[in-house]
Amino acid sequence: MATETSDAIIRVRDITVQFGVTRVLDGLDLDVKRGEILGFVGPSGAGKSVLTRTIIGLVPKVAGRIEVFGVDLDSASARERRGVERRWGILFQQGALFSSLTVRQNIQFPVREYLNVSQRLLDEIMVAKLGMVGLRPEVADRFPSELSGGMIKRVALARALALDPELVFLDEPTSGLDPIGAGDFDELVRTLQRTLGLTVFMVTHDLDSLYTACDRIAVLGNGKIIAAGSMADMQASQHPWLRAYFHGKRARAVMG
């Protein structure tokens, strides 16, 4: 079991992503270990979302190699790829809930497509997932346009968790939430990680999230990972951007 917890669930090697002549990621390496919550930070426009979208296959890469669950996504057959996709869940920055489906249908959608189970079990699992993300079953029949921003994030997380994935990608999960809501969300991610044994890849700008929720932090700059390690490592680093980020006025307010 010890070897299994330490091995990498995502292994990114030397990837390069280019839009026209701008090189966004330039020979980037990154490992995400099983069972950890990795916080991923970097200046705006550094390519954090691009890396996330490259790993999940939405952005094509020029060079490099990406392995998720030990499967090389380039050489994987369609069947293997679907197998991988079933084992991860993704929370998009804006939620990306299907606007013409209710909350119930949004959460049940992936389950219904992948598993042949009864409507009763679908409903029960939906309520269980809503409960896990801290929502009451009464919201089940509302449409996404009738939800608040925080609720959309929670429902989107419930949908990402619908198939009990082993790995979740969270793209700025706490942006647009009030500090209390954001704090709750961090707590929620922590709890879910403990209960479900999740591995979490979290792109964030929220220092509170980094401080309270993340086991490890990776920093992106100039298309590469400039630092990766614990919060203490980050604070000890002499890199100018890291110093500005982790020793700025806001950071001092968070860390007291």
Partner 1 sequence: MTGDPTLEPIAKGNDVALCAAGPWTARFAPVLEQMVADAEKLCGSRPNIFIDVSQVDKLDTFGAWLIERLRRSLTHGDVEARIAGLSANYSSLVDEVRRVKAAPAADMTTVSIIGMLDQIGRSVAGFGTTLIQLIDMLGAVLAATGRVLIRPKTFRLTSTVHHLEQVCWRAVPIVGLITFLIGCIISQQGIFHFRKFGADIFVVDMLGVLVLREIGVLLVAIMVAGRSGSAYTAELGSMKMREEIDALRTMGFDPIEVLILPRMLALIIALPILAFLGAMAALYGGGLVAWLYGGVDPEAFLLRLRDAISIDHFVVGIVKAPVMAAVIGIVACVEGLAVEGSAESLGQHTTSSVVKGIFFVIVMDGVFAIFFASIGM
Options 14-22, 175-183, 195-203, 207-215: segment touching partner 1 (CB under 8 A) = 195-203
Q: Which of 27, 70, 197, 248 binds partner 1 (CB under 8 A)?
A: 197
The residue within the footprint of partner 1, chosen from 44, 195, 238, 256 (CB under 8 A), is 195
Tokens of residue 24, six digits: 């966004």
Cβ partners under 8 Å of residue 136, min gap 6: 130
How big is the site for partner 1, counted in residues (CB under 8 A)? 38
Rounded to the nearest whole angstrom, what is the least distance from the CB of residue 78 to partner 1 in the complex?
Answer: 18
Q: What is the DSSP string of 118-160?
A: -HHHHHHHHHHHHHHTT--GGGGG--GGGS-HHHHHHHHHHHH
- Give the residue, chosen from 26, 29, 123, 184, that forms a contact with partner 1 under the rule CB under 8 A: 123
Q: Are strands 8-19 and 63-68 parallel, antiparallel or unpaired?
A: antiparallel
Cβ neighbourhood burial of 145 (10 Å; 0-12, 13-18, 19+): exposed
User: Per-residue string for binding with partner 1, 5-44, x by CB under 8 A?
Assistant: ----------------------------------------
**Spatial distance between the Cα atoms of 229 and 231, rounded to a whole number of angstroms:** 7
Q: Is 58 helix (H, G, I), strand (E, B) or coil?
A: coil
Chosen residue from 115, 236, 244, 255 binding partner 1 by CB under 8 A: 115
Contacts to partner 1 by CB under 8 A: 98-100, 104, 111, 114-121, 123-129, 131-132, 137-138, 140-141, 143-146, 161, 163-164, 191, 194-197
